[in-house]
Structure 1
């Protein structure tokens, strides 16, 4: 089941040298699995109201907490509980953050939201102790608490950045907005928060990007199944009204990594690629690709360099024209790798 749509990807450096991936989706939070699903609720009010995450959990899994905090709930931090929910296809554990009372509003409500974010920061020790790898979170406070998408996204991004600094186990945090159309407006806020806001684009450059996307969409059916999920992810990133070039660059580099692994597995199957960086893999592939199709190296290196720029703070601002080059490089690298995979399968059979 996949009723969600990715629209932004950010890599946040962590102390262990591995980046934490922060993904933003529009759509159904129960459509993707994470170890933890962390929801918010008014104090003592866990009714499965329609158009809330607790309502969606009740609708899909017939799990409800309408009688309040269950007796077997586990207190993780002040106002944060593990509801001891049965495991589902969407999560292993369901956590709830109790936020403001319904009567609270205005500046007091806003201050309560940021106090809640401070409590979330303190979950670091619990996340590490349980060795959690992934967490899904809705845009906390943007529903009945009536906070703006920008406010809630900024609060959550601040928390996740703190988690990345100290959590060695945590690999992925997925943030969900119920409405993709509204969520896609967050691209500017997200990219600016991490210092990679896309430079202003002209109508012509946007038209070029849409043309590249049309070519990509037209060829999706011809790519190897190994590459297809990554191609579809890039296509989803392009489908938003205001695409995040940073996110496209990061996804392009991931595709280059997958393609490099595939080529090494075909040409040098004895080499273990699990600990190799993209640069190390391309260095190994350099001679073979140069002999076979030398121009492909420039596409691989473009995806590497653009992805690094998108993932880290840089003086260079990525533009929509950069996104055009990234999408074209993605197409050529995916086509080349698919061709090599097909040749290998024919030889093997």
Structure 2
């Protein structure tokens, strides 16, 4: 379909913005059915997510450890939009859309319209994979690289909202001065202080699954979870024994893309970034108290949780593909639809709520003018 929100979103003869499409998935947990699997495999649905989630929510993109010094720049692709956050001379953070949303291309190439982020030598567009933060102190490489993002006149670039909670950095593409109060209310003091420790390491791991499967896999074995806040899920996870016995890990999911794991003396942030319909980049940062003798065991426990989450999520993705392949071979069979767990019910309910509350009119903001941004 043309990437035009004004003509709607349709897949498999379903209107994806019609409440009746999702009615069975929104029933009480005892009666609800699993959400339609097209949410994990449809390019059209990923474009709808771009409209309803990635360009509307406060999105976690990293921590202040990524850009500690003046001029440092953190690139990040959100949905189909390339943005960056830069540390300014006064210590504040400024977010902008990249200089060239389509990179160096006059139009978006066909291979970049498949839903998969491509490896491109010109990394400033909304259809390519990100590089790591750029340090302004590296004069040999920073000038040429930063030009791809800030251009010659960064003050003329379209601004995005930036907010900071301790070390955590969030952005919102829905205008330059969005109110952070609701998202700030989702962050309790313990979550913010957990990452105030020294960063010990970081890693980027690409999971072979849809981004929504990561949270469902992480909390899948938990019998009960909750926080009293509609966009936050928290639970104590079961972990395998460490060298010094069991280690408790407290996990929090701030919808849509921040996972925070906490254990005694250590914590980690996981920022989820879709890189394809069936792939998700997990940007992980570990924090620990160097003086805490038990922090090493806690860090090991966090690594085990992430490894188990990856295994479970990727198996779920393989099961989904296998099920759909079987339906193609045997069209008469019905998709498996067992009981929905409370975790799955929460995740699909939050997702559907985003679709149903998405603005349906075309705003005057440049980002949402369809002729400029959807006819490609």
TM-score > 0.5 by shorter chain: no
Which of these two proteins has the greater Rg computed from alpha carbons?
A: 1
Give the structure-2-normalised TM-score.
0.26
More strand by share: 2
Give the structure-1-normalised TM-score.
0.28
